[in-house]
Chain A
Amino acid sequence: MLNTLTLKKALDKIAKKELTAKQIIDDVKAEIEKRNGELNAYLTLNDNDTEIGNLENTTLKGLPIAVKDNICTRDLRTTASSTVLDDFKPQYDATISTKLKNAGGYIIGKTNLDAWAHGSSTETSQYGRTLNPRNLEHLPGGSSGGSAAAVAADLCIAALGTETAGSIRQPSAWCGVVGLKPTYGRCSRYGVIAMASSTDSPGPIAKTVEDAAIMLNTIAGHDPYDGTTTTKETPDFTSYLNQDIKGMKIGVIYTELEGLEDVSKILLDQVKVFEKLGATVETVKAMDPHHSIGVYTIVQRGEVSSNLGRFDGIRYGNDRSHFGHEAKNRIMLGTYTLSKGYADQYYNTAQKVRTLYIEDYKRLFEKYDVLISLTSPGFAKKIGASEGSAMFGELEDMLVEPSSIAGLPGISVPCYHDKETNLYLGMNIMAPMYREDLVIKVGDAYEKNSNWNSWRNK
């Protein structure tokens, strides 16, 4: 059962020579063998065993890491969960794949997602939906549903996902794991199959905040191949663990929203943990997140329609008839909103509202160190819930969308467990741009002073 180890514990045991990465990989593989048929978390497994071993002196010591299937991995099939790329084996590694490998991570396999990362359920994957390991009648969320499920079911030690608006945090909340969405520009997008280029942010999905910090250390930093990455120095994110949060100012937002009464009550109860730790906590009104649905829908569809143009049937084997319903929908909507005569009405207006969100956060961060909300308006939805609901994802992601379009970092940590359904709620902690240190510090303090993390209880 070595697959149930957290990254931190596994690293410690390898360092003490109590275990080898190979032993852990064997257990992870055995578990995948046992459960992936049912869960469908992985689309492709890495059968290149020559990469295993002799990595004891690296950061990740050869431990098995799951990688979302929209992140290019050299010679390892990368589909973005669309049959358009059914046979696509990239000739190059994404920068974060390179960094992961250089840090001694072993890419154990490629995880399922909503096709092209369009969705919040993994139900739009053209390779079938992933199930939530916590409750098989429920969805894992998405688009990084495969990675979140793989972590929750101990089918890996940690995982990489990507978020455009909720795609790391929402499935992490639904699967009861930790998801860290870094600042836009903190981690390179080079080699990540583009969805909405102005918000795509790769980041870790892990068992604990500590594990997420270790993972972020390995993939963050400036990339000469991505002009939108920051040139700021990358701090050691693990140095913000186990810190005192006394005196910190915390603003709680979105609790007044209609329909969220029950879950908001839970959140307001949970933030009392911070008061006990000496922080001040206030509920505060932020700009209504409902507008972000419109902003995100227009900006994201516009960018999608342009980004998917390259799959024109000339290369990559399969033609455009392979695009699924959701992708076609988004391409058409995006093409329309960017068209002559409509760009001003839609795209440019959406960009202006986006600026309003950025300004609203600036205003709030003048008063608060971090802002906290629920990650998702509720527990994981039942399978089939997304079908026929064109705006499913946008509604499920509403609480994280404003911070995504503003480029802010955020972390989702489990903040409630429903015994009856075995499902979780996630708490979303947000900070100003490039302040991942704050979300790690506050998230870690919460995790260690609450009882919701299923690995801490083991």
Chain B
Amino acid sequence: MKKDYHLVCGMEVHAELKTESKMFCGCKNDPFGAKEPNIHTCPVCLGMPGALPVANKKAIEWTIKLGLALNCKINLFSKFDRKNYYYPDLPKAYQISQYDLPFCYGGVLETSFGPVGITRIHLEEDTGKLLHKNVDGKDLSLIDFNRSSVPLIEIVTEPDIKSPEQAKEYAKNLRDIIRYLNIGDCDMEQGGMRLEANISLQEDGVEGLPSYKTEVKNINSFRFMEQAIKFEMERQAEILDANGIPPQETRGWDAKKGITFAQRTKEDAADYRYFPDPDLAPIHLTEEFINKLKAELPELPVQICERWQKVFGVETRFSSLMFSLPSEAEWLEKLFVLAQNKNLDSNKLAGSIVNKKFTFNFGDAPEEILKKFAELGQTDEIKDDDLLDAIKKVIANNGDALAKYKAGQTQLLNFFFGQTMKELGKKVDVAQLRKLLETELGK
């Protein structure tokens, strides 16, 4: 029997921090820029006998900064734990991570579909990388430790995500904030940011969480994640419709086939034997320290957009698309101030920039931008829908001209142009009108 279900989804996102040195040693943190394997290594990140970790203070600060940006509470007493498991890319046979006392907990990230609760953010170290290659006719597994012990943060959400689209927006917003704080590049292709989704379905009208969940791991693009969740929703609904319960398992994503596939069931789930790492003293933080980090936090994009709306009248539908770094926001702010001083319409200016009416680079002199903007001619901002209505009206009233136009008298385009301008009674953006008009006349 077919029932209606809704998605219950939480996410785990890993992101590498771009500190100068690695998490627990002084080696250069540049796994993607390294010219050769195993050049950014030392006894510590190679896990040599006797080597000891020393925590990277900057990485701890940055983790807390992200927590503050996501409205998290900060644990004033925290520690690192050992997560024990065997894998060739893990030279110590344990990963230094955080178990029960992460640096940050209890935050929230807003999306246009509603808030997503942040359960925790913890700091750990990345592993090395395995390369399976054929060398001189032999199939070999090679290990590159350049990535070993690179600082890695894990951001875990509450099961608040209600649609694949929201999952995508959440992940994108998170990436944007990490980049905006300038603490990570989040290069998805290289593995600088990795997505995991915990997915289950609940019958509509039923309270509480479902009795099962599947975890889809190693997704390396936002689009794939959206697809994976959609695929899982369909797959799980089929099982539920047949009165079954999808097994609790970890699934992988096959990007080529566009499907998820079973990887590991609960039965062989690892017991990581967590215990506090005796090599790293527990970390006591002070309110003063947290406040200092808070003060260093840049104004976040959401706050900037809200302020620009108030001060310059720039709509957030434009401003939210205009910048991804603090330096870019600073430059735009200068531009809007200058525009305001010259009594120019900042919102129209923003619209022209978003709609790529002219080319520019961040860092260009603001005066030059305003010159380009002026050259566009002062036109009114008209929504596509309104424009379309006017065009349709003009076409409907001029069936004769339309027939001639279609017969090959293309110069009649100017006639329709003029009619539409008259109909609207506003100064229209020529390029915008021409594009729409041609499309409509071509139908």
Q: Give residues in A with beta carbon < 8 Å to B.
A: 70-72, 78, 80, 85, 88, 90-92, 94, 189-194, 196-198, 224-228, 302-303, 305-306, 309-312, 314-316, 335, 338-340, 343, 347
Contacts and interface: CB of A to CB of B under 8 A. Distances in A.
A306 B49 contact: no
Contacts of A80: 49
Interface stretch (B82-90, B179-187, B233-241, B312-320): B82-90
A339 B269 CA distance: 13
A82 to B, nearest CB: 10
B281 A193 contact: no
B275 A227 contact: no
Interface residues of B, number: 28
19 contacts: A90-B48, A90-B50, A91-B43, A189-B52, A190-B52, A194-B49, A225-B44, A226-B279, A227-B54, A227-B281, A302-B275, A306-B93, A306-B94, A309-B93, A312-B93, A315-B91, A338-B273, A338-B275, A339-B273
Interface in B317-369: none
Contacts of B273: 305-306, 335, 338-340, 343
Contacts of A90: 48-50
A91 B43 CA distance: 8
B279 A197 contact: yes
Interface string B197-239: 0000000000000000000000000000000000000000000
A193 B275 contact: no
B246 interface: no
A92 B48 contact: yes
Interface string B32-48: 00000000000110011
A197 B273 CA distance: 16
A312 B86 contact: yes
A189 B51 CA distance: 8
Given A225-B54, A226-B54, A339-B271, A193 B49 contact: yes
A91 B275 contact: no
A340 B273 CA distance: 6
Given A310-B92, A310-B93, A338-B273, A91 B48 contact: yes
B280 interface: yes
Given A88-B49, A92-B48, A226-B52, A306 B279 contact: no
Across the A-B interface, give the 10 residue pairs with the lowest CB-CB distance, nearest first. Answer: A309-B93, A198-B278, A197-B278, A338-B273, A191-B50, A193-B49, A227-B54, A340-B271, A72-B50, A193-B50
Interface of B: 43-44, 47-55, 82, 84, 86, 88, 91-94, 271, 273-275, 277-281
A262 B280 CA distance: 43
Given A226-B54, A339-B273, A347-B275, A310 B84 contact: no
A95 B430 CA distance: 74
A80 B48 CA distance: 13
Given A91-B43, A338-B84, A192 B50 contact: yes
Contacts of A228: 52, 278-281
A225 B52 contact: yes
A116 to B, nearest CB: 10
Contacts of A347: 275
Residue of A80, A92, A310, A315 with highest tally of chain B CB at under 10 A: A310
A98 to B, nearest CB: 12
A340 B277 CA distance: 17
Contacts of B53: 227
Nearest to A72: B50
A313 to B, nearest CB: 10
Q: Is the interface of B mostly helix, strand, loop or mixed?
A: loop
A310 B48 CA distance: 8
A302 B51 CA distance: 19
A310 B54 contact: no
Contacts of B44: 225
Given A196-B278, A227-B279, 15 more contacts: A78-B49, A92-B48, A190-B51, A192-B50, A305-B84, A306-B82, A310-B49, A310-B91, A310-B92, A311-B49, A315-B91, A335-B273, A338-B274, A343-B273, A347-B275
A314 B51 CA distance: 18
Contacts of A78: 49
Residue of B49, B84, B92, B93 with highest tally of chain A CB at under 10 A: B49
Residue of B55, B277, B278 with highest tally of chain A CB at under 10 A: B278
Contacts of B277: 197
Nearest to A92: B43
Contacts of B43: 91-92, 191
A303 B278 contact: yes
Contacts of A309: 84, 86, 92-94
A340 B44 CA distance: 28
B47 A310 contact: yes
B279 to A, nearest CB: 5
Contacts of A305: 84, 273
Residue of B47, B52, B92 with highest tally of chain A CB at under 10 A: B52
Contacts of A302: 275
Contacts of A227: 52-55, 279-281
A305 B272 CA distance: 12
Contact of B49 (A85, A338, A340): A85
Given A80-B49, A91-B48, A224 B54 contact: yes
Contacts of A71: 50
A167 to B, nearest CB: 16
B86 to A, nearest CB: 6
B262 to A, nearest CB: 23
A194 B274 CA distance: 18
A93 B49 CA distance: 11
Nearest to A78: B49
A72 B44 CA distance: 13
Contacts of B51: 92, 190-191
A169 B215 CA distance: 52
A351 B77 CA distance: 18
B285 to A, nearest CB: 16
A232 B275 CA distance: 28
Contacts of A192: 50
Residue of A191, A224, A225, A303 with highest tally of chain B CB at under 10 A: A225
A87 to B, nearest CB: 13
A370 B271 CA distance: 44
Nearest to A315: B91
B92 A190 contact: no
A377 B277 CA distance: 33
A383 to B, nearest CB: 29
B354 to A, nearest CB: 49
Contacts of B49: 72, 78, 80, 85, 88, 90, 193-194, 310-311, 316
A15 to B, nearest CB: 34
B308 to A, nearest CB: 45
Nearest to A188: B52
